[in-house]
Homo-oligomer: A and B are copies of this chain.
């Protein structure tokens, strides 16, 4: 294995010089620089992770992880599980991860984010991309020098973030269409049910994918009706509306629960559709869904690796800040997996 020491010996310089060249710190004699680079190239130098990891402890890195914790968003419980596991891993390298967990309304409040950011000097941040604007403003207003930020779960392509780790929502919608087609011989009559509070553009992207896949591949499929709950609507009214939709459309054979918020709506649907053959397709696999999938109440659900959404951003920040490795790509899309009764 080729080490810095070996490169130094061959180039006739000291280890310090090699370090300066390879990590772009300080000035170096151009001639020596050239020589060092050439030798490193020829020998195929790869920095040793264990060595870097050991030395990284002196940096005392601090990373911040901002996340909602909301009974209406249990999905993020799994994200946090992954993040905490990774944080535990990183403690070995002297990295401290601070979690800032609050309800969504608070995070959407300008002051809250500003307080978090101004009171905590971090070497890097991991945030849900929906906070992009607020976060950027908060960072600016408290006058901190910029540090790397990674988005999870939701992206904001224009923003100044190092990478995105999360779902490809359009593809998720396309996959749902494919599952619906499988279950109905390509003759799905679909009812769509979702919450859409405006901040969640995932709904829009998923529906686009769903519709595109239908029009490109399944001429006999169609979306018959939609029930979308907005912020103003009452939970009970919403349930009634969904029941009404099912009853008014006897041709519906697939219900696509994009983001229903409360899964007890499945029971309401069952009541409204006794004697009918309606299959439910949902997204994710939170606690409440698991038993429903097992029992066949939900025929299939499409998952997006929540733990990875929590873990990978921290790993990427560590690799960058401690090991000097830039992320290999900008988009880390999580795998879309189909779960049914037999593989939940």
Contacts and interface: CB of A to CB of B under 8 A. Distances in A.
Interface stretch (A47-55, A102-110, A220-228): A47-55
A174 B294 CA distance: 13
Interface stretch (A61-69, A154-162, A335-343): A335-343
A340 B277 contact: no
B183 A342 contact: no
A245 interface: no
- Of A56, A92, A336, the most chain B CB neighbours within 10 A belong to A92
Interface in A26-83: 46, 48-51, 53-54, 56-57
A90 to B, nearest CB: 11
Q: Which secondary structure characterizes the binding site on chain A?
A: helix
Contact of A182 (B48, B54, B300): B300
Contacts of A46: 92
Contacts of A50: 50, 53-54, 56-57, 92-93
Determine the interface band of chain A, counting residues with CB < 8 A from chain B. 35 or more
Given A182-B300, A277-B185, A342 B53 contact: no
A94 interface: yes
A92 B340 contact: no
Contact of A342 (B48, B56, B213, B340): B213
A1 interface: yes
Contacts of A277: 185
Given A50-B54, A178-B341, 9 more contacts: A1-B94, A49-B53, A50-B92, A50-B93, A171-B343, A182-B340, A185-B277, A213-B342, A335-B337
